[in-house]
Structure 1
Amino acid sequence: MEFRHLRCFTVLAEELHFGRAAQRLAMTQPPLSMAIQQLEADVGARLFDRNSRGVALTAAGQAFLPRAQALLEQAAQAAREARDVGQGLAGQLQIGFAGTVLYRGLPQVLQSFSTAHPRLRLVLRELSSSEQLVELVHDRLDLGFVHTTRVPAGFSQILVSSQPFMACLPASHPLAAAGRLTLDQLRDDAFAIVMRAVSPDYHDRILSACADAGFEPALAFELRHWLSVVSVIAQGLGVGLVPAALQQAGLPGVVFVPLQQPLAPYDTHCLWRTGRDESALGAFLQAVRMAAQPGHDGGPA
């Protein structure tokens, strides 16, 4: 059974006239008659009564018509969906992100993209940078927002944002009102820090900065999320060095103080597999580029 035969059948069922049906189908009457005969042979039943008074659906034809129409509509819908996916108008993207991106970059991207592409479904998964790299390498994510310079070969990147580290202190800390401070001034404090397994780059960077300042910090808390670091500090249980965007979290009981000698910045990169040919991915990356800080578009790693 061929879809062109179903199309011939439904048009003839609507017109009940071979001439008009053939005209609508842009064909002559003999091929139309042949198509109906072939369909009747496939179905195993006569679908039309033909006589000198005209054409009429048989009982079998009446029963077959709604099913034939449904099959044609399903085929048309499948074609529309495939075309929309191919053009980047529909489909699904699996996106990984580290938590701090919620305060810097990701909301702007999602807002602009969702407005322009309402039929593209975004599935967002909060994962550490290390976890995202594993998922990206195994193609379980289409792209990820990470905080790491350890980019695997074969991936491209966009530097979405770059922000300074700040000292995060309890509001009751003696240095809370300082305009700036040096790391050396925190040598006697307990530190809260993100676990190395979660963010090895920045865990090591903070320890290295403290070593350069002449001390080894007492790590009282090693946590999975930067927001957890700020929450612990808000309870007066330590101090920390955190990305400046966490000021936007609005947690009470903490203050953020600039450093006299800034650390290397905290960078957010968007990563995806180089050469991946997907229209939806390309459309999302365009939204990322529009939201990225000026001059932060990048190419293959």
Structure 2
Amino acid sequence: MEFRHLRYFLVLAEELHFGRAARRLSISQPPLSLNIQQLEASVGARLFERDSRGVRLTAAGRAFRESATALLAQAESARQLAREIEAGAVGRLRVGFVGSMLYRGLPQRLHEFQHRYPGIQVALTELNSQEQIDALLHGELDAGFIHTSRVPDELATELAHREPFVCCMPEGHPLAARAEVALTDLRGEPFVLFSRKASPDYYNRIFEMCAAQGFYPQVRHEMRHWLSVVSLVSQGMGVAVVPAALAHSGMAGATFRPLADATVPSEVYCVWKRAPDHPARDHFVDTIRLAAAQAGV
């Protein structure tokens, strides 16, 4: 049985006349009769009664008509879905992100993406950089946002966001009265730092920034999420050097001041697996790339 047989059957079932059905199908009558005979042989039942009074559906034919209609509708849906997936217009996208991306434009980028591709469902998962790398390698994520460009060869990266570091301190800290803070002002202060295990690049970057100013930070607490860092600082547990975007976190009790020293920037990279082919993911990466270019990253 072929889909051609089903189409011919349904047209004949509507017309109940071989001549009219053949004209609708743009074929001659003999090929139509042959295809109907082949279909009946395949089904193992007579689908039409043919006599001097004309053509009528049998009971089997009437039952088969419903199934044939459903089969052709499913086939058309499958073809349409395949075309849309190949074009990247529908599908499901699993995206990982570090928590600070909530203040670095990720919600806006997602709104833009969903507006352009409403048929793609995006599922977000908050993970640290290393967890995202592992998930991408194991096929558990389609794209992510991480703090490092140093990734395995199977992964590709694109710079998505760049901003300065700022000093985060408790609201009543003596340095909070200043317009800006020098890193050397933090010498001897207890530091709250992003966990070395969660993001060794960030941990080392802050250490190197302080070392360039002649001291090493006295690390008192290590957190796995940036908001946890800010929360601990807001409760008077130390000071921190954090990406500028976290000043928009609205955490009560925390104060943010620019750093007077020229420091390396805080960067976030979009990351994805180079293979296999994934049109929806590629559209997402293009959206992030365009937004970064417009922001001058």
Cα displacement string for residues 258-290 of structure 1 (whole angstroms, at most 9, x for unaligned residues): 111132101111122346533212221221122
Q: If the length of structure 2 is used for normalisation, what is the TM-score?
A: 0.95
Q: Following the alignment from structure 1 to structure 2, what is the Cα–Cα distance between the partners of residues 215 and 282?
A: 44
Q: 1:210 Cα deviation (Å)?
A: 2.4
Cα displacement string for residues 164-201 of structure 1 (whole angstroms, at most 9, x for unaligned residues): 11000101101111111212212232111110011111
What residue number does 1:107 align with? Answer: 107
What residue number does 2:82 align with? Answer: 82
Q: Following the alignment from structure 1 to structure 2, what is the Cα–Cα distance between the partners of residues 199 and 114?
A: 30
Q: 1:293 Cα deviation (Å)?
A: 4.3
Q: How do residues 166-205 of structure 1 correspond to structure 2 at under 5 angstroms?
A: 166-205=166-205
- Evaluate the alpha carbon distance shift between residue 295 and residue 236 of structure 1 in structure 2; reply closer, same or farther with a 3 A threshold: closer
Contact 2:149 / 2:157 at 8 angstroms: preserved in 1? no
**Structure 1 SS opposite 2:270:** strand
Q: Following the alignment from structure 1 to structure 2, what is the Cα–Cα distance between the partners of residues 271 and 185?
A: 36
What residue number does 1:263 align with? Answer: 263
Cα displacement string for residues 197-242 of structure 1 (whole angstroms, at most 9, x for unaligned residues): 1111111111222233333322221111001000111111111000
What residue number does 1:12 align with? Answer: 12
Q: Following the alignment from structure 2 to structure 1, what is the Cα–Cα distance between the partners of residues 37 and 114?
A: 50
What residue number does 2:129 align with? Answer: 129
Q: 1:62 Cα deviation (Å)?
A: 0.9
Moved more, 268-277 or 16-25: 268-277
Q: Which amino acid aligns with 1:281?
A: R
Q: 1:154 Cα deviation (Å)?
A: 4.4
Q: Which runs of 5+ in 2 are unaligned?
A: none
**Structure 2 SS opposite 1:264:** coil
Q: Which amino acid aligns with 2:168?
A: C
Q: If the length of structure 1 is used for normalisation, what is the TM-score?
A: 0.93
Q: 1:112 Cα deviation (Å)?
A: 0.8
CA RMSD after TM alignment: 1.7
**Structure 1 SS opposite 2:156:** strand
Q: Following the alignment from structure 1 to structure 2, what is the Cα–Cα distance between the partners of residues 34 and 59?
A: 21
Q: Following the alignment from structure 1 to structure 2, what is the Cα–Cα distance between the partners of residues 293 and 47?
A: 63
Identity between Structure 1 and Structure 2 (%): 51
Q: 1:43 Cα deviation (Å)?
A: 1.3
Q: How do residues 1-301 of structure 1 correspond to structure 2 at under 5 angstroms?
A: 1-274=1-274, 276-294=276-294
Q: Which runs of 5+ in 1 are unaligned?
A: none
Q: Following the alignment from structure 2 to structure 1, what is the Cα–Cα distance between the partners of residues 226 and 113?
A: 27
Q: Following the alignment from structure 1 to structure 2, what is the Cα–Cα distance between the partners of residues 20 and 86?
A: 38
Q: 1:295 Cα deviation (Å)?
A: 7.8
Alignment coverage as a number of residue pairs: 297
Q: Which amino acid aligns with 2:140?
A: R
Q: Which amino acid aligns with 2:20?
A: R
